[in-house]
A and B are shown apart, each in its own frame.
Chain A
Amino acid sequence: MKNNKKFNVAYWLVTVVLLAVGAVGLYWRLTQGHRMANYGQLIVWGLWVALYIYFIGLSAGAFLISSLVYAFGVERFRPIARLALFTALISLLAALLNIWFDLGHMERFYEVFSRPNFLSMMAWMVWLYTAYSILLLFELWFELRTDLVRWSEKAGLSGKVCRILAFGSKDTSTKSRARDTRTVKILGSIGVPLAIMFHGGVGALFGVISARPAWHSGLFPLLFLVSALVSGGGLLLAIYAFLAPDRGSEAHTALVADLGKLVLGLTLLDVLFTFSEYSIALYGAIPGDVGPLLKTMTGPFWYVFWIGQIGLGMIVPIVLLAWKRTNRNPNWVGLAGFSIVVAFVGVRLNIVIPPLSVPELQGLVEAVPSARMSTFYVPSTMEWFLAMGIVGLALTLYALGYSLLPVKPNKETSHG
């Protein structure tokens, strides 16, 4: 209990700092536009795009794991299924905010709906994740409905919020719950191909760009899906291992270990995919393809690859999740998940930035005397601040939802 309190204080402290810093970033972004950003004419996408695919990956991954339960009936993971859905929703929000601030004309985002060009993977992606967000909202609502109704009786804020979110629904009978369960199953089943399409679509968004050989690979959509599952799984693992109310119980330990096994398997698959992508490109040695990879591995940000992507993203979790002495201890297993969550920021940065850092024509960078035409990019203070603010907002909403809504992983909510 005491520990819990300490954690809460630390959590809110960090969140408040992030929000404050984010407010500064937001002010700069809104008053100065893109002038204070460090991306340029060559590396036209930066931190925000990387974070966008990071969060959207977390969302798709968490959603697909919830679908194991809702669509495929893998009851083992039932206790965390709601949490997974809720995590998917908050991550999606963080993703959309990141990409929205990245637009040159934020006020025109609606054009993607009013005049879409369906030859563009980006238009597809927007439409698919719009469908996905609607589905996600409905699925979560039907899943929570009976509990929302029940919780409406509670005194205090939680009761009020649940009453509002119940939208006048009153029925808590087993029959209505059974109906909800069926609806959730249908929605979850539709959601699986949808999540695969939209996240594969994010991979394809990069994959179709023949002008950037390092992106132009048929493996990209698949790589995105696998890494979404790994990062989403890692996040759930960390949250469940460290925050579950039933921590310390045998059931908790066992479920953490099982979830760990799932994440281990996915991580190994990710190793295979990454190796395949990198080794083929390196062997081919086409400059536009191999240049970004060499930059990733030996350039000024080599550590993002070796320490982040390989170390924290693969070796640490694989060891912690495979080794007998750690893989049944919720703390170590949770740490493995956390390690993945951190590492994948690096994975996403490495997907977006190095492939853009090699000029399309040799000598192009030298031909343009401008700081914007550079093969080097580090995010500016404004970019960091705004991104931190978005993370702060996500943490706020997450904590609020976690404490006010019936999404916590526990026995009570675990059976239909």
Chain B
Amino acid sequence: MPYVPAVMEMENAIIRMMDDVQRALQKPPSERRWGMVIDLTKCVACDACTVSCKAEKKTPPGVNYTVVIKEEVGTYPNVRAVFLPRPCMQCENPPCVDVCPVGATWKNEEGIVVIDYDVCIGCRYCVTACPYGARNFDFGEWYTENTPMLEPYETAPTFEYGEERVRSEGVSPIGNVRKCNFCIERLREGLLPACINDCIGRARYFGDLNDPDSLVSEMLRERYSFRLKEDLGTNPKVFYLS
């Protein structure tokens, strides 16, 4: 039995995390440090996060901001499945940022790595530089192409970065590189990132790492955590509990 932190007995972690977000929003942006904690012992690889992200961001085929890696370890009968949800790590030292020739992507004050779709030239250099495969190129494809009409869920506007955009031929974000932005536009409204809300196993947590009272800070204090490819010095803000 994995250790269940006290907070789990609390009525609703979502409400607690939303309170954490509210508290963080009271502070100046530069004092917040958004982070995610993913409890691998609770992930059941249902891909609810993948789907909820798709629905939230209306990403086209092949563009996935968060995915769940599923692997089998060992040989039968001694096998075990391991699951690893992978959003953008929002690295403190993001290698994807330095390489951008036009400065179209940067780490904002709150520590979220953002992309300006109106500047990005689509060279895809940043895709090669991300050690986590978190960046995607928007090739301009549609789920419902070659059908009588594009379904409304593909043509409905998105509000990424708080900008209303309708995807269409030759217009950004088509031809741009895209990735998870911790749902920055939802955070501004006091909402949690979509994947946090929709995780059925309550494996994903979110909050302000600078706030010692936030749920994520508490979990990181009480449980053993690790991050991916720590040896690269990227200093990710997505932590895994195992």
Contact = CB atoms under 8 A, between A and B. Distances in A.
Interface of A: 32-35, 37, 40-42, 44-45, 102-105, 108-109, 111-112, 115-117, 119-123, 126, 205, 208-212, 356, 359-364, 366-368, 370-373
B61 A211 contact: no
Contacts of B136: 41
Contacts of B61: 370, 372
Provide the main secondary structure of the chain A interface: loop
Contact of B101 (A32, A33, A34, A112): A112
Contacts of A37: 139
B124 to A, nearest CB: 4
Provide the main secondary structure of the chain B interface: loop
A104 B103 contact: no
B67 A117 contact: no
A102 to B, nearest CB: 7
Contacts of B86: 361, 364, 367
A186 B119 CA distance: 38
Interface string B172-205: 1011110000000000000000000000000000
A211 B128 contact: yes
Nearest to A49: B124
B95 A211 contact: yes
Contacts of A372: 61-62, 139, 141
Contact of B95 (A103, A109, A210, A367): A210
Contacts of A32: 140
Contacts of B132: 360-361
B69 interface: yes
Interface of B: 61-64, 67-71, 84, 86, 95, 98-104, 119-125, 127-133, 136-141, 169-170, 172, 174-177, 228, 232
B234 to A, nearest CB: 9
A33 to B, nearest CB: 5
8 contacts: A35-B139, A41-B136, A112-B121, A117-B102, A120-B99, A212-B128, A359-B133, A367-B68
Contact of B62 (A104, A120, A362, A368): A368
Which of A34, A44, A115, A367 is packed against the most chain B CB atoms within 10 Å? Answer: A367
A103 B69 CA distance: 30
Contacts of B140: 32-35
Nearest to B72: A363
B232 A367 contact: no
Given A120-B98, A360-B130, A364-B133, A44 B103 contact: no
Contacts of B137: 34, 41, 44, 104
Which of A102, A105, A370 is packed against the most chain B CB atoms within 10 Å? Answer: A105
B121 A109 contact: yes
A121 B123 CA distance: 13
B69 A105 contact: no
A111 B121 contact: yes
Contact of A120 (B63, B84, B101, B122): B101
Given A211-B129, A363-B71, A45 B124 contact: yes
B62 A34 contact: no
